[in-house]
A and B are shown apart, each in its own frame.
Chain A
Amino acid sequence: MRLAYLLSGGAPHVKRYKIGADCATLGMPIEAGIAGEAGVQKFADPTVITDAVGINVDGDTFSTTQGAGNEGVIGVIINPDAVYQARICTTATSGTQSQIITNSAASTGGTVVTITTGDQDPSGTSMNEGFAACIAGGNVGQIRKVTSVAATSVTVTVPFERTIAVGDVFMVGPWSPAPDVTGDQAQLTTDGIEVRNDIAQGTGAEIRGVEIGIDFSSQANARQRSYYYVLLDDHLFRDNT
């Protein structure tokens, strides 16, 4: 994840904390340590972020060796209203490109996208209440909220401007900006720096979406350079438990 902007303006607040584990990856959620731990903890579970402190802007090695001269500290952006840019990918490993749906049945009304055999089932892994963005075809650049799903299709309420033709390519994801409270989750990659769009809506770590940024300049760019802009929902410096 990368700092994109702050909701309230101002400036990023960077604090340096002692670490309780190796923190080599940059831009991952950092969680508050608990009693008995030597310092703040790195992100560990793609489905859980508890008491986030922020994201780290540098890394260090944790050591318990006396005289090693390495206390182990990292800088963390601690603003609770910081919006982070998380790249959209499809597997547990960061760096992969996003999955797509290739439309296999024309929709003159511009509301139904039908998958091609081999595409992910949008109801088995629910994309309902997520987004559908056209990245190749007559509706390139348009993005709609998915309002219902079936085993072979996703349906939007507000139609795409033109007919959805066979072969048009769509990128779908299980989130939408400003989601309702049941949908404020996203599953991260194992290193905690990207979000996965092959996971069902409403599952994953405590993350709230602010906006979705798709690079519509080409199909390849859309699959590789699209981002979900998120807040860390369970942030230590906001009202929380």
Chain B
Amino acid sequence: MEVLVKRQWRRKDILASFEAPLRPGHRLAGGWIADHAAKRHAISLCSFCTHKFNPKSVGYQRASYLYPWSIARCDDCKQVDPRCRLYVAEETWDKVFSPRHHGRRGRWALDTA
């Protein structure tokens, strides 16, 4: 409920207005996600949609580091899911996630980066 009186915008309100709308209704999910992949954006997919995406075919890998999931809005169905899978472009992985938890180095690999 919100009281209908004038109030100043807080920075959090301004930030909320910046949140990007997800896939427009007239776009099919496949093309929308392909566009994001072409820009090398991170892609979040919920547990229902993730199987539709083949990350290796576009040079992506799942961000399954310390935490196997991410909380995000699915880029396909737009549902907020606390168990989204986050996919990032392979070339950007080391810039945003600690390589200590790199998924391809094996469970017992040393932290060498």
Contacts and interface: CB of A to CB of B under 8 A. Distances in A.
> Which range holds the interface residue count of chain B?
35 or more
Contact of A85 (B19, B44, B73, B98): B98
Interface of B: 9, 11-12, 14-15, 18-20, 22, 39-42, 44, 65-73, 82-84, 86, 88-89, 92, 94-100, 111-113
A2 B95 contact: yes
A73 B89 CA distance: 16
Interface residues of A, number: 43
A3 interface: yes
Contacts of B39: 58, 60
A116 to B, nearest CB: 30
B19 to A, nearest CB: 6
Given A34-B11, A60-B39, A75-B41, A16 B82 contact: no
Interface stretch (A49-57, A121-129, A202-210): A49-57
A35 interface: yes
Interface string A54-90: 0111111000000000010111010000000100000
B interface SS class: mixed
B22 A57 contact: no
Interface of A: 2-6, 9-18, 20, 26-27, 32-35, 39-40, 51, 53, 55-60, 71, 73-75, 77, 85, 193, 215, 225, 236-237
Contacts of B112: 225
A59 B89 CA distance: 11
